[in-house]
Structure 1
């Protein structure tokens, strides 16, 4: 057998006996296991959350258009695809001499594909899940239409050219959107009854929808089909802003856990490989003295590394695969009824991480060992080692590339990498500074503490390296703690229990004060009452515009509808200034306009540009005064366009407001409908319950993923403890031989690692707070408050944790007879 193969086999068998190789193999297995488990489970959880959020649409995909949709091509793709059809259009509903404009929705027998319909026999009656749609000849109406028309059970209403019997009160539908026919009072009928109404005429404002549900591959095939230009495809992630934001943040949180696991694996493997490389120098020197060429030694090293990568990578991937299935059981018990199957690409990516870690972080120290001069090694000299900069730069580039694959946004990638780099730099600088400050204290301390501080000062390079490694590991643990306790809490707090759940629209000017008095008398605190006017955009910078002026389909749809405007002398807390300053009293009455960022993105306008708006034939020209950003998840009234007070006083307008109504005061809405019959009430309780449910599911999933990633951080700390372990064994033996007691040895060890832990914990806590603030502001877009108590506590926790790990690692050495260590 070739000696290179024999030497490689020797190194692989040494995994069982050599401590450095054991730790290196264990670090690699744990790194791959952590990465693969997080990748696999995170990918499955993200896909499951997206699929579950399909309940908010009643399907996995909605195809909508203003003309009938030919679904034959969809049916031909895959017989396993399920489809349902709905038609939406506005219609005036008559009951006796009363009438009201409603959003009519005709559905077929397959609706809904996901989620559920809920109904009740009448207002204030028990709500039940509907197992089928309305029977032909019957209709379901929501509470608003029931109240507006003063309906009763089995009442007969006129819908177009036919009559229908009101059989149930509709309390919840999964796909209710935010367009007019969706926010208007709802009338749900069977598709078979629609032709009899004769409402579908040329020019009618009907919207046709095809709901599709199936596996991911089939849905991608549907999306790849060619549809007419006016067709819109909506998924759970992009159809509703509040659902889209929840899913996006979930993917960001899970990506952060996966990126952290990759960084931890790199640190652990690099530490262990460096320590083993130091011991490998003696073996290489002996082989060089026996005539082995450096090329042959490198070949043997590559064989052993590739074999180790295959074995450790396969074992780690298998462990990760098994662990994510255990997490799946927890998810099914706690969160979701089912998870999609694991995606092979996620496992392949985790294996790629193993190869990058070995090639970039284990190979350079081993290459350094082969460069050492044999005579210097045999004389136990310690010449300055040359780092394999090319390999290290390649490894860092590969690691950055892997992190980029896992990061959903460039801002998250930059924040995590910058946080790690900043921590490493701060740890290096502060370690040097603190070591310099500790030098005078060395002589004033007790003997045991003096020995410990002396170890830190004598091994300055190793102390700084250990401090950086410990700090980076603690940063990962603290960052996950920050995410779990602060970022997630801040996210959930964006939708507090008293978030407004009732919207009132179509309030007339003469009803504003009586309505405020009505709500105040019942103990209801209404938010600000906003005026609202409607206009259509006709020109930008005096150039006429219409849908054909833009190529983007979303802009074409947006430009074709009326804009809702309001006026205000101050902004709400959910508005943030982006460019310019909000106007003061001197701007009142001037033709200025405040534009939301979405307007800038769609129209490409900025401060100083002009918008011409048509108010029912009255065209007015406005100059953009400033740009702002609205938090559309606040469930507060907001507008794309605002003007100063006194500009639109002569334009026809209605008013709207919002407020929180506790469940025990629901009867107040019945009184409101009777007192103000023209006011439209929008009940958002069902929608808010959906958002809160998704938040709770995501938080539970992240807790499970983060626990596993924290375990990877502890492995890094253990690996840092192994650095210099053999050197410390000889030092402890010499100290014991020269008369030091076990107590003094313990004091020396504890003082050394307590200083290291406190220093690392302090800097890591500061950086974790900084990175948390960047992630909150740039990635998750939620408020964040720095907690200084966490910084102080982290320094103390770092000292205790590092001391405990160091004691567990080095305690057997203090109990080993010194002569046995010195004879090794």
Structure 2
């Protein structure tokens, strides 16, 4: 019996639009989660795939000595793809020229990720392959062809072996961003290593094993491999800082994660508001049913069935719309980025359905329980049950659910706490400010009959309700401002914007005898360049006598040994100077004393903060096989964005002469300087040049994807924010109808009422926008420093943008929602109220 009655009431309320708000809120929550999860997941996977190209694999094992063959055997047994690499330096001889080359021997299967770019001749266009040189052949970089005076197809001698230089090597995916390899690169088939006889006991050789495959298999393999690794062997993925793009990838994921959380927050708020409003509108029908003999169990079954049907229908519609939305968005992003985005898998489906059901249950549970407690006497005394409208339990349950959903969606407690804490502060500040302003409204002394007076009186009358509305409005505006700043400011700060005078090439491997000749060459050809810095390689091995911890793999989620001091994790380019370099500023301690004879070192502030170095500490360094100590005398801030030569550690002049060095400089070549560069490299064949422009372009292509993803999220957040505003305005429509009827009865003109309503929304929006801007800026400052690890700064322009956009946004949507009500005549309004 009750089931038939429930269906009858359900279809009637559907026709009347009673369930529109709650249906739209659940559907919006689901489509928001599904579309954001799908888009961000697919872009994240695409970024990881493209980033994996930079190491030519999903993972790699790096070692300074030969690796056990069992590692490859076990990986292949698990179904992983593998390849081997060996790096060594050897002399190449041809046409009576002798040049030192950096040789990378690769096995079949290389590269596991990415492509190798080749040219068949100097004048021909480059093309892509996923292959290795045939046995007996080598691929040489263009600089190597110049240095040896070779043509494609000529013979070149490596060690004792003769090889055919069959291709020009333009680039390979795992080419180092900065290394001594420079433009003297050689790609050799792994089986030809023995033919060169260049690798002998004691030779300086580096080994790598490359792995690709399913993430679960890689994790299982690492679990087997980890106990067997030695201290000088490292397991790396693109997320590890040892990889040039590891930090950028981590920031990309943080941006996408942060963007996804915004939609969750607004959808949850819209759901909480709409669920509460729907249940309030059922107080009178429930009271009527109870007077007609309806039991509590019958009423409970009816409305629980309604909730179940609405949830199932709205979740289904949300999934359908979200799927279509993400398909359109990802197709556009894929065409814009000229790439194919991978499928997202089942995660978005699981998240969307789970969050939709949880929202429907948790945000409706307390209002439904209150609904069942409505007394039958409400049919006579309409105010009975109104005290249930304000429920601290419902508020606490909603807040807890929002926090849990954010944490569940992000999996990042730190990120969730930042956003949730900022929102909580916003709510507290707004509630206090709104009560203060609204209660002070009567003291403003505005003239009677004024639209402003009526607007302020209305705000004062609904002080508590307006405070809640203000919080909802401000939350929506805060999240939109947040995304706006992320897209237009933080990303541009992070994009490695290149200054106009920045160098676009590094010159390394310069012998001391060549420095003056190259300086003269630059002067004659009017090429802008930096000074020449002596460099040598070394590792910071200990701090105050305590050795640094062994490096851990971030790719596998490992953590450093908490009992050991965390070190740099890699060898560093070290130098010495007498003067503080441009773009550096001493922030603690003092620069070197010119008369000091003890070894001293200046450390970049970022490195010092990461390791815990302070002025007065003693660092132990290992250079080749020699260990020595140096006292830290200063910490420096470094402008890495200038792209000029910078160093994390700089010694004082007494270190000079203790180690063999080469010199390093940077230059800015123009578009037409190709012949000039070739002339320079021919005159100095041991000098290597690194073109950094192409690597920066590759890194920025990833950032462009993040920017597009945030644009998509901003559109979703705008829609979510609009629904929050609509829900809040609809909640006050009945009260506004009563006010309009009273005002018209007292003789108020329609223009006065319309302007008063418009001013009311303008004031609410401006106040919400101003507080939202201030709280957003403080939260952004914290997130910049703590989450993205960049120097934080305030954004004063949003202090004006917040009130202006808030006033326009709230006034436009709010006035649109009540415009139809104000156009109705008094008789029609009375009929609706009855």
| TM-score (normalised: structure 2) | 0.87
1:766 aligns with 2:774: yes
**CA deviation string 1:554-599 (max 9, x = no partner):** 999988968734446436647896xx44536579554332345787
Equivalent residue in structure 2 for 1:723, among 731, 754, 764 = 731
| Aligned-residue offset at 1:673 | 2.3
Once the two structures are TM-superposed, the CA of residue 34 in structure 1 deviates from its matched residue by: 0.7
User: Among residues 461, 464, 475, which one is paired with 1:461 in the alignment?
Assistant: 464
Q: Secondary structure at 2:175's aligned position in 1?
A: coil
- Quote the residue 1:790 is aligned against: 798
For residue 283 of structure 1, the aligned residue among 281, 285, 288 is 285
The verdict on how the C-alpha distance between 1:485 and 1:542 changes in structure 2, with shifts beyond 3 A counting, is: closer
Q: What residue number does 2:619 align with?
A: 611
Find 1:748's aligned residue among 752, 756, 760: 756
Once residues 547 and 367 of structure 1 are traced to their aligned partners in structure 2, the CA distance between those partners, rounded to angstroms, is 57
How many Å separate the matches in 2 of 1:617 and 1:112? 33
SS of aligned partner of 1:343: coil
Q: Distance in 1 between matches of 2:548 and 2:752?
A: 84
Distance change (3 Å), C-alpha of 1:540 and 1:803? closer
Please state how far the C-alpha of 1:497 moved relative to its aligned partner.
7.1
Tell me how far apart the structure 2 counterparts of residues 12 and 344 of structure 1 sit (CA, whole Å): 32
Structure 1 residues 10 and 269, CA, compared in 2 at 3 Å: closer, same or farther?
farther
2-side partners of 1:268 and 1:395: how far apart? 11
Instruction: Give the match for residue 252 of structure 2.
Output: 250
Bigger Cα displacement from structure 2, 523-532 vs 631-640: 631-640
Distance change in 2, residues 1:650/1:187 (3 Å): closer
Q: Where in structure 2 are the equivalents of 1:31-110 lying within 5 Å?
A: 31-65=29-63, 66-68=65-67, 69-70=69-70, 71-78=72-79, 82-110=81-109
Taking a change above 3 Å as real, the CA distance of residues 603 and 488 of structure 1, as seen in their structure-2 partners, is closer
Change (3 A) 1:656 1:182: closer
Summarize deviations over 1:122-167 as a string: whole Å, max 9, x none. Answer: 5576434357543433322113333333434444322122111223
The corresponding residue for 1:13 is 11
- CA displacement, residues 4-52 of structure 1 (integer Å, 9 cap, x when unaligned): x466545643541454531121111111111121012211221121112
Deviations, residues 681-710 of structure 1 (Å, cap 9, x unaligned): 223333223212222233223323332232
**Unmatched 5+ residue regions in structure 2?**
554-558
Cα distance, 1:114–1:336 mapped onto 2, change above 3 Å: farther
Partners of 1:539 and 1:790 in 2: CA distance: 46
Deviations 1:365-401 (A, max 9, x none): 3434445555467423376448554454344333223
2:141 aligned with 1:142: yes
Counterparts in 2 of 1:659 and 1:241: CA distance versus 1, 3 Å: farther
Secondary structure class of the residue paired with 1:663: coil
2:534 pairs with one of 521, 527, 531 = 531
2:274 equivalent to 1:266: no
Question: For 1:240-639, what aligned pairs fall within 5 Å after superposition?
Answer: 241-290=243-292, 297-298=299-300, 300-335=302-337, 337-371=339-373, 374-375=376-377, 378-381=380-383, 384-385=387-388, 388-390=391-393, 392-407=395-410, 409-441=412-444, 443-444=446-447, 446-495=449-498, 499-509=502-512, 511-512=514-515, 514-535=517-538, 541-542=544-545, 564-567=574-577, 569-570=579-580, 573=583, 580-583=588-591, 585=593, 589-595=597-603, 607-613=615-621, 620-625=628-633, 635-639=643-647
Q: 2:822 matched to which residue of 1?
A: 814
Please state whether the residue corresponding to 1:269 is helix, strand or coil. helix
Counterpart Cα distance in 2 of 1:448 and 1:562: 70
**Aligned mates of 1:61, 1:614 — CA distance in 2:** 27
1:688 to 689, 696, 699: 696
CA distance in 1, matches of 2:585, 2:186: 35
Determine the structure 1 residue equivalent to 2:719: 711
Name which of structure 1's ranges 453-462 and 305-314 shifts more when overlaid on structure 2. 305-314
Report if aligned partners of 1:117, 1:129 keep a CA contact under 8 Å in 2: yes
SS, match of residue 226 in structure 1? helix
- What SS does the corresponding residue of 1:38 show, helix, strand or coil? helix
In structure 2, C-alpha distance between the alignment counterparts of 1:457 and 1:124, rounded to whole Å:
78
**Structure 1 unmatched ranges of 5 or more:** none
Deviation at 1:263? 0.6
User: C-alpha separation between the residues in 2 aligned to 1:168 and 1:435?
Assistant: 78
- Render the CA deviation track for 1:320-360: whole Å, top value 9, x for unaligned: 23322222222331225322222223322222222332333
Q: Provide the C-alpha distance between the structure 1 equivalents of 2:626 and 2:744, rounded to a whole number of angstroms.
A: 96
Cα distance between partner residues in 2 of 1:37 and 1:159: 56
Does the 8 Å CA contact 1:241/1:632 hold for their aligned counterparts? no
CA distance in 1, matches of 2:57, 2:257: 26
Q: Secondary structure at the match of 2:764?
A: helix
Return the offset for 1:477: 1.6
562-571 or 308-317, which deviates more: 562-571
Partner SS, residue 166 of structure 2: strand
Q: Which stretch shows the higher mean deviation, 339-348 or 596-605?
A: 596-605
SS at match of 1:268: helix
Q: Which residue of 1 aligns with 2:197?
A: 198
Q: Is the CA contact (8 Å cut-off) linking 1:365 and 1:387 kept in structure 2?
A: no
C-alpha distance after superposition, 1:475-506 (max 9, x if no partner): 12221111121122222244567653311223
* Deviations, residues 243-268 of structure 1 (Å, cap 9, x unaligned): 22232222112112211111101211
Contact residue 20 and residue 275 of structure 1 kept, 8 A: no
Of residues 158-167 and 289-298 in structure 1, the stretch that sits farther from structure 2 once superposed is: 289-298
Contact 1:172 1:686 in 2 (8 A): no
Aligned-partner Cα distance in 2 for 1:542–1:796: 58
Query: Residue 569 of structure 1 contacts residue 585 of structure 1 at CA under 8 Å; is this kept in 2?
Result: no
Relative to structure 1, is the Cα distance of residues 460 and 391 closer, same or farther in structure 2, using a 3 angstrom cutoff? Answer: closer
CA RMSD, Structure 1 to Structure 2 (Å) = 3.8
When structure 1 is superposed on structure 2, of 395-404 and 614-623 the one drifting more is: 614-623
3-state DSSP of counterpart to 1:94: strand
- The residue correspondences of 1:21-36 to structure 2 (distance < 5 A) are 21-36=19-34
Pairwise CA distance, 1:729: 1.7
CA contact (8 A) 2:85 2:106 kept: yes
Task: Tell me the distance in 2 between the aligned counterparts of 1:614 and 1:821.
Answer: 85
SS of residue paired to 1:140: strand
TM normalised by structure 1 equals: 0.88
Residues 739, 117 of structure 1: CA spacing in aligned structure 2 closer, same or farther, 3 A cutoff? same
Q: Return closer, same or farther for 1:387/1:454 CA change in 2, 3 Å cut-off.
A: closer
**How far apart, CA to CA, are the structure 2 residues paired with 1:691 and 1:313?**
38
Q: Is 1:229 paired with 2:244?
A: no
Determine the C-alpha separation between the residues in 1 that align with 2:571 and 2:806.
59
Maintained 8 Å contact 2:367/2:394: no
Shift in CA distance, 588/817, structure 1 to aligned 2, threshold 3 Å:
farther
Distance 1:246 1:542, change over 3 A: closer
Residues 1:561 and 1:722: Cα distance change in structure 2 (over 3 Å): closer
d(CA) in 1 for partners of 2:550 and 2:34?
A: 48
Counterparts of 2:521 and 2:703 in 1: how far apart (Å)?
Answer: 35
SS in 2 for 1:238: coil
- Which position in structure 1 is the counterpart of 2:556? none
Distance 1:558 1:743, change over 3 A: closer
C-alpha displacement of 1:410: 4.5
Distance 1:561 1:54 in 2: 22
Aligned-partner Cα distance in 2 for 1:365–1:686:
59
Q: Shift of residue 724 of structure 1?
A: 0.5
Conservation of the 8 A alpha-carbon contact between 2:619 and 2:631:
yes
Distance in 1 of aligned mates of 2:625 and 2:260: 57
Q: Provide closer, same or farther for how the CA distance between residues 694 and 150 of structure 1 changes in structure 2, counting only shifts above 3 A.
A: same
How many Å separate the matches in 1 of 2:419 and 2:566? 38
For the 8 Å contact 1:34–1:708, the answer to whether it is kept is yes
